[in-house]
Amino acid sequence: MKRLIFMLALAWAWPAFGQAYPTKPVRIIVAQAPGGASDLLIRVLGRKLGEILGQQIIIDNRPGAGANIGAEVAAQAAPDGYTLFMVSAPHAVAPSLYRKLGYDLARDFTPITLLGSEPLCMVVHPSLPPKTIRELVAFLKARPGQVSYGSTGNGAVNHLATELFKSRAGVDMVHVPYKGSAFAIPDVISGVVPVLFANVSPLQPHIRSGRLRPIAVTSSKRVRTLPDVPAIAESGYAGYEAVNWFGLVARARTPDEIVRKLNGAIRQSLALPEVREFYEKRGADQMSGTPEEMRAFLQSETAKWAAVVKASGARID
């Protein structure tokens, strides 16, 4: 009888708890070093989110191990809404790349909302003759296995985006992995490797200066900051899309009232002019939606990249 009374009291208390939340600072774990693309975006969003929630938002950077260290730390957090995790495309790829992970994306986390995506841009060294996708595919088909391409690491989204393009276009290129775009981009500029898929924002200064030639973007449509550059999807490869997306999740079993409150506050933050302007300057697209929509998106992305990883033969361990 005492147990029944306790459970009824607990059930009665949860809605009030959800309404009072948050009563202390909220931590967002980011599996990326400070200054990275998603880190900058979450800091701008976090400031506005903190104002709406009435509590400080603390950004906790936990980079390393292909973005898995941050995920493992977040998977051990209490399910109380005070530790959130910024999930991104690499976390949908990881189950297919690693034999053992210290977390399970579907089991250990509950979705809150998607935040946005950053497209990639395919660039080439200006000495390479092709200026369009059609010309590049013809160039590569005439030289199977003779042209190399760079990526920011084995299993990185831009590596798999290139593998997806290779599969769709029926071409063969040699993969040269780097330890991040800070190393890959200079080698494309100097002509060490002639082809690279990378985030739009760090490529833009080099595109404007003429040191790199843009061929196409990997989003489903053209991006605002590169309006003259076509999407691969509109260049004969309908349905092609490979972007660096990101969103927020909480620990599994976080009360639904808290998840819904966070969802509403985050979507309110995304709609603010300062946040929208920051996204636009970086060529990023806003995404939001319900927790249920994010769950379906995560399942779809995990399945999509599993097929690409299997076809590419990529493996980390």
The count of structural domains within the chain is: 2
Residue 108 lies in a domain: yes
Q: What are the backbone angles phi and psi of residue 50, rounded to the nearest 5°? A: -60, -40
Question: Do residue 113 and residue 254 come from a single domain?
Answer: yes
User: Which pLDDT score is estimated for 244?
Assistant: 92
User: Which pLDDT score is estimated for 19?
Assistant: 66
Question: Do residue 181 and residue 198 come from a single domain?
Answer: yes
Q: Which two tokens stand for residue 237?
A: 């490869």
Q: By the 8 A CB rule, do 71 and 87 touch?
A: yes
Residue 302 lies in a domain: yes
Which of 188, 211, 234 lies at the terminal end of a domain, its last residue?
Answer: 234
CATH of the domain at 166: 3.40.190.10
User: Which pLDDT score is estimated for 201?
Assistant: 87
Which of 234, 255, 276 lies at the terminal end of a domain, its last residue?
Answer: 234
Nearest to 151 by CA among 211, 218, 224, 228: 218
User: Which pLDDT score is estimated for 284?
Assistant: 87
Residue 18 lies in a domain: no
User: Which pLDDT score is estimated for 92?
Assistant: 95
Which of 209, 234, 259 lies at the terminal end of a domain, its last residue?
Answer: 234
Question: Do residue 126 and residue 95 come from a single domain?
Answer: no
- Range(s) of the domain holding residue 281: 24-118+243-312
The alpha carbon dihedral of 71, 75, 76, 78 has a sign of positive
Question: Do residue 295 and residue 152 come from a single domain?
Answer: no
Torsion, Cα 289 292 297 300, to 10 degrees, reads -160
Residue 178 lies in a domain: yes
User: Which pLDDT score is estimated for 150?
Assistant: 96
Residue 8 lies in a domain: no
The C-alpha atoms of residue 308 and residue 158 are separated, in whole angstroms, by 12
User: Which pLDDT score is estimated for 1?
Assistant: 54
What tens digit of pLDDT does each residue of 28-45 get? 999 988 887 788 999 999
Q: Classify residue 8 as exposed, middle or buried by CB count within 10 Å of its CB (0-12, 13-18, 19+).
A: exposed
Question: Do residue 224 and residue 141 come from a single domain?
Answer: yes
Question: Do residue 93 and residue 196 come from a single domain?
Answer: no
Question: Do residue 126 and residue 184 come from a single domain?
Answer: yes
Question: Do residue 132 and residue 160 come from a single domain?
Answer: yes
What tens digit of pLDDT does each residue of 134-164 get? 999 999 999 999 999 999 888 889 999 999 9
DSSP 162-214: HHHHHHHHT---EEEE-SSHHHHHHHHHTTSSSEEEEEHHHHHHHHHHTSSEE
User: Which pLDDT score is estimated for 14?
Assistant: 45
CATH of the domain at 92: 3.40.190.150
Residue 125 lies in a domain: yes
Q: Which two tokens stand for residue 167?
A: 């599969």
Residue 55 lies in a domain: yes
Give me the residues of the chain with pLDDT under 50, please: 2-3, 6-10, 13-18
The C-alpha atoms of residue 285 and residue 291 are separated, in whole angstroms, by 19
Cis status, amide bond into 22, omega within 30 of 0? yes
User: Which pLDDT score is estimated for 12?
Assistant: 52
Nearest to 28 by CA among 115, 103, 90, 97: 115
